[in-house]
Amino acid sequence: MKHASHHPTPASDWYENAFDLTRGIAAYTRSPLVDGIAKVIAKHPDADIANAFNHKQVACKIWARDTLLQAAGKSYERIVVLGGWYGILPAMLLEDRRFEIAVAESYDIDPSVETVARTLNATHADRFRAVTADMYAIDYPRLGADLIINTSCEHIADLRSWLELIPAGTRVLLQSNDYFSEPTHINCVASVEAFADQAKLSTIDFAGALPTKKYTRFMLIGTV
């Protein structure tokens, strides 16, 4: 114990406090993902991990994970997450014992997130890969993924032309939203119907909406 409990904790100690607290929550919940977050706080203090794991991000990804299980089943050879950032969704999928996943990969154009994603997924090092790549430049037929996930379709200028890079019959999980006022959102949709019109999937296992305080998130699970 560094601080006597009657002393107010200086704000500057919050990095250390966040690390200790996260390690404690990891021990209590036995979650490899939470343990990974503690490691990220210690090794990559500049990573925006609190934003990436805020309760709204978590809610959208739990929605994706639970719906995927119901709509498309538990077994995957190779899951590829595009714009995967710190690899939180792969971590959530890999630690979920309801699933049987051989490999999950996170692709992101930002080279600085690769090592953070690896630290976050250190427990699953044998089943996780982080790759720096532009999602428009990936050779999808060669990847041979049986599930491709993109939870930031609102950032893709032309969703259909990106989907055309993916071999027909591949299963995809896509999320977008109606958060038009955020300037980096260049391709929001007003409804799940509009999202489905844009994606033109050949089969649909799930189409739905998750209202949040500021905006509604939409999700499609199906095959291209």
Ligand X SMILES: C[S@@+](CC[C@H](N)C(=O)[O-])C[C@H]1O[C@@H](n2cnc3c(N)ncnc32)[C@H](O)[C@@H]1O
> Shortest Cβ distance from residue 113 to ligand X (Å)?
6
Nearer to ligand X, 100 or 134 (CB): 134
Name residue 206's beta-bridge partners. Answer: 221
> Shortest Cβ distance from residue 57 to ligand X (Å)?
6
Nearer to ligand X, 66 or 110 (CB): 110
Nearer to ligand X, 24 or 208 (CB): 208
DSSP 8-class letter at 83: T
CB within 8 A of 183, min separation 6: which ones? none
> Shortest Cβ distance from residue 69 to ligand X (Å)?
19
Residue 101 three-state SS: strand
The token pair that represents 153 in the structure block = 């379709």
Nearer to ligand X, 69 or 165 (CB): 165
Q: Indicate the pairing of strand 147-150 with strand 216-223.
A: unpaired
DSSP 8-class letter at 190: S
What gap in Å lies between CA 133 and CA 32, rounded to an integer?
A: 26
The token pair that represents 10 in the structure block = 């200086």
The token pair that represents 87 in the structure block = 């690899």
What gap in Å lies between CA 194 and CA 178, rounded to an integer?
A: 10
Nearer to ligand X, 87 or 222 (CB): 87
Residues near ligand X, by CB under 6 A: 57, 82-83, 85, 107-110, 113, 134-136, 151-152, 155
> Shortest Cβ distance from residue 38 to ligand X (Å)?
20
Nearer to ligand X, 11 or 157 (CB): 157
Residue 76 — φ and ψ, nearest 5°?
-140, 135
Neighbours of 36 (CB within 10 A): 29
Nearest position to ligand X, beta carbon = 83
